[in-house]
Structure 1
Amino acid sequence: MDHIVFEVGLAIALIALSGLISAKLRFSVIPFYILVGMAVGPHAMEIWHFDFRFIESAPFIDFMGRIGVLFLLFYLGLEFSVGRLIKSGRSIAVGGTIYILINFTLGLALGFVSGFPIAETLVIAGITTISSSAIVAKVLVDLKRTANPETEMILGIIMFEDVFLAVYISILSGLVLSDSSSIGGVVLSALIALGFMLAVILIGRKAVPLLNKVLNIRSNELFLLVIFSTLFLVAGFSETIHVAEAIGALLVGLVLAETDHAKRIEHLIVPFRDFFGAMFFFSFGLSIDPLSLGGTAVWIALAAVLVTLFGNFTAGMLAGRTASLSPKASANIGLTIVSRGEFSIIMANLGREGGLMEILQPFAAIYVLILAILGPVLTKQSKPVFMALNKVLKFKDPRIRKEKSTGTG
């Protein structure tokens, strides 16, 4: 423990340096955080011949990264509202189903075409289906798109993915880690996840008058302690019932966004969001082994990236159409949620625990790294990307047809 403070200080300095470089280049900061983490990660000594491995501080940095995910999703929830989410419930369910079906089917097809056995194919489908809620949240906040009409669909798909994730991990764990899987256990896990989300949203909305009174605290110190305790307790409890802790944080943000204190919370939480969010992406980079990024895994990962880009854009356009969004807003959905991250790594680790083919780990690392870098870029450049595709595909606006059919406009 003698060098933990120095190691954390060095990590923060490297994060700050990469942030300054990205600002100078006017480029998304997320790829820089990830790449600098890779450059000084556990295997950096073998490349640079210097010991930058953060041996003592790695668990602490990883924990700060987990906190970063909580703050990113919590802040995103604050920028939204439960009311908007409830009003869009049907379109979100339809859009989320479309998104999962398209991406999961393409993931299965990729695995089979690449010649993988059934267990490995199921892991690959899981890796390619679930987007990174942390990266999506960071990009939406950085680009100030939280008030955009498509954001409620993006948030809804993220929550829908978590229900799918709860079910899928239950099934996959049973298949990979044991000889059989209990259907009853899988159904129960899904119902608990869905029930928890609905309960927090509905009860939280009813409790808004009470929350307004409880949060009427003059001291910022005590105010933050109450907010932080609520955030960590709900997020921690959600994890114990197999709902991602990040989704628990998002739910807390959605509830508190309805209170009279939302702006105050938002103002006080920003520094924590930025600091711990940066630590998450740095710690994510630390987890990637640059020496494993080669061989056959590269080609399969590149194929997976192309499949994911196609699947996400198609799903975004279809999901947006069901919600009567404009083609441009629909394209923003697909381009925003294309990033892959923490959940894909969880899937790959599950395959490793089950003794599946070793190629799954480098495949996931390359795939996640490319989309973690490409996702924020595509989101930022969504307008020129859409304009270029629109010249070829000539997207039609469903709102215009609706106006004509009702005789308005």
Structure 2
Amino acid sequence: MHSSAVFLIEFGAIILGLGLLGRFAGRFQFSPIPLYLLAGLAFGEGGLLPLGTSEEFVAIGAEIGVILLLLMLGLEYTASDLVSNLKTQYPAGLVDAALNAVPGALMALLLGWGPVAAVVLAGVTWISSSGVIAKVLGDLGRLGNRETPVILSILVLEDLSMAVYLPIITALLAGAGIAAGSLTLAIALGVAGLVLVVAVRFGRHISRFVSSDDPEKLLLVVLGLTLLVAGVAQQLQVSAAVGAFLVGIALSGEVAEGAHGLLSPLRDLFAAVFFVFFGLHTDPASIPPVLLPALALAVVTAGTKIATGYWAAKRAGISAKGRWRAGGTLVARGEFSIVIAGLAVTSGIEPALGPLATAYVLILVILGPLTARYTEPLATLLTGRRNRGPAPEPSAAAGEPVRESVSETPHEVA
């Protein structure tokens, strides 16, 4: 009875604290993810007040949080959207992977962590935060901008790449050989391809089967189906998160919209628990030794993300200011980076990887909204000065001041 009371007190305090942190972040219009991570650091190993009886329940909640994060991302896209993006935007996806995964892999190798850790850290630096970026676009009123579809296309390709990347990571972290790893990847690709084919051809029938006018029944069926598929996927040595993502893709139309509205509060709750859980397993004393590499990696990959967005927007025919806005918006890292690092932490391949990922995400989840807001005006200011050069001497004959040409407005795109 005593342990039950302590559990309720601890877990209740965690949820209440997360709610207050979320309200604080909302008041100042920034992502609550860094605050959740800091809360986990405060109550984890080496923190101010380590948890006791509720830690096991928090671990289960964190796993559900990852599943719901991927499910909700899948609900955002239809199978036809994914196929269309693959056909038209795959060059941008390849450039994105090359520019942003390579710095993470090189950093891991320079630190002497080995090839497996290099593949993990490559994923941490590669994937942008869909949640943070979506919120930033809404806050800045850019959802209708011409560059926004380019940004969303890159995010879709990153999300879809998780269906291939996560099984590879799972096999590597499990120490599977080449044969076992190849089998795992083949199963993952086969399942992903099968789901896409079924979703394209029979998506309406699946949605009709799941559909219900009663919100309670819809919630139970979608959540139960997601957890079931995630469990089966994990049993087949494919990531549970990939299974949840594919379930989201298979649902479309009114079912997807209804499920999105019903599951959003649950996603926010368990995602917050997940970030706290990641922080719980990171000793705050382990962060200062990796702070300098994390800062260097954040600076480099902020630059490579800006270059990615600029190139993709230029390829789509967007004007210069729109290109800078696209690049600055993609900088934020968040949930996916922590999910990938969390897999490595639980496997124990490299003790310093978790602290470095925590510091890296903390830096970029704070820096991301700032680059989204200020990259374009700063680039415009610098390029304007460079293009103008020294001010010309006034003409004595004309007797009139030299008038500069008017540039495009901040929201004008080609």
Output the CA distance in 1 between the equivalents of 2:162 and 2:57: 28
Would the alpha carbon gap of residues 167 and 220 (structure 1) be closer, same or farther in structure 2, given more than 3 Å must change? closer
1:366 matched to 2:356? The reply is yes
Q: Match of 1:66? A: 63
Check the 8 A contact 1:65/1:281 in 2, yes or no: yes
CA shift for structure 1 position 333: 6.1
- Residue 278 of structure 1: aligned partner: 272
Query: What letter is aligned with 1:166?
Result: P
**Residue among 41, 44, 57 paired with 1:41:** 44
Matched with 1:314 is 307
- Closer, same or farther: CA 390–216 of 1 in aligned 2, 3 Å: same
Matches within 5 A, 1:2-401: 2=4, 3-44=6-47, 48=48, 52-114=49-111, 116=112, 120=114, 122-130=116-124, 136-143=129-136, 148-149=148-149, 150-167=151-168, 170=171, 172-173=172-173, 177=175, 181-182=177-178, 184-256=179-251, 258-295=252-289, 297-321=290-314, 327-328=323-324, 330-331=326-327, 334-337=330-333, 340-347=337-344, 350=347, 352-353=348-349, 360-375=350-365, 377-379=367-369, 381-392=371-382
Q: Quick one: distance in 1 between partners of 2:262 and 2:105? A: 44
Equivalent pair of 1:88/1:152 in contact (CA under 8 Å): yes
Shift of 1:143: 3.9
Distance 2:15 2:229 in 1: 28
Give SS of 2:253's match. coil
Equivalent-residue separation in structure 2 for 1:267 and 1:208 (angstroms): 20
* Normalised TM-score (structure 1): 0.78
CA distance in 1, matches of 2:211, 2:288: 56
- Greater CA radius of gyration, 1 or 2? 2
Quick one: structure 1 residues 366 and 123, their matched pair in 2 at CA, closer, same or farther if it must change by over 3 Å? Answer: closer
Give the residue type in structure 2 aligned to 1:370. Y
Query: In 2 relative to 1, CA 206–124 (structure 1 residues): closer, same or farther, beyond 3 Å?
Result: same
Deviations 1:354-396 (A, max 9, x none): xxxxxx42354134333245225414651322332354469xx
Following superposition, the deviation at residue 293 of structure 1 comes to 1.9
Letter in 2 for 1:214: F
Q: Counterparts of 2:325 and 2:78 in 1: how far apart (Å)?
A: 19
What is the Cα deviation at residue 34 of structure 1? 1.4
| Shift, 1:282, TM fit | 2.0
Aligned-partner residue type, residue 40 of structure 1: F
Which whole-Å CA distance do the structure 2 matches of 1:153 and 1:31 have between them?
24
Residue 289 of structure 1: how far off its partner (Å):
1.0
8 Å CA contact 1:95–1:319 kept in 2: the answer is yes
Structure 2 Cα separation of the partners of residues 367 and 302 of structure 1: 11
1:65 partner amino acid: A
Work out whether residues 105 and 125 of structure 1, in 8 Å CA contact, stay in contact via their aligned partners in 2.
no
Q: Which moved more, 1:3-12 or 1:276-285?
A: 276-285
Aligned-partner Cα distance in 2 for 1:58–1:222: 31
The CA distance in 2 between the partners of 1:279 and 1:131, in whole Å, is 22
The 1:112–1:86 alpha-carbon spacing in structure 2 relative to 1, beyond 3 Å, is: closer
- Distance (whole Å) between structure 2 residues aligned to residue 189 and residue 324 of structure 1: 40
Output the amino acid matched with 2:327. Answer: A
User: TM-score, with normalisation over the residues of structure 2?
Assistant: 0.77
